[in-house]
């Protein structure tokens, strides 16, 4: 199965629950510009 993996990268899904709406709408709490930092490269070596 590892024959199908090209590499790995790191991501962090950040959430600000204080911005969630009472009716269940969560988009604002996950939409700030810096809220999904993603690694700058793909690591192909273990």
* pLDDT tens-place string over residues 26-41: 777 888 888 888 887 8
Query: Would you state the pLDDT for residue 13?
Result: 86
pLDDT tops 80 at residue 10: yes
What is the tally of structural domains in the chain? 1
Tokens of 1: 């199965």
Percentage above 70 pLDDT, the chain: 98
Put simply, whether the predicted model's pTM sits higher than 0.75 gets the answer no
Rounded CA separation 39/28 (Å): 23
Closest CA to 8 of 33, 44, 36: 44
CA angle 40, 34, 16 (to 5 degrees): 135
Q: Is the dihedral of CA 10, 14, 32, 27 positive or negative?
A: positive
Report CA 20 to chain centroid distance, whole Å: 18
pLDDT tier at 24, thresholds 50, 70, 90 = confident
What range does the domain containing 16 cover?
1-46
């Amino acid at each position: 199965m590892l024959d199908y993996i090209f590499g790995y990268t790191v991501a962090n899904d950040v959430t600000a629950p204080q911005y969630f709406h009472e009716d269940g709408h969560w988009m604002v709490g996950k939409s700030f510009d810096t809220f999904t930092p993603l690694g700058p490269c793909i690591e192909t070596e273990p």
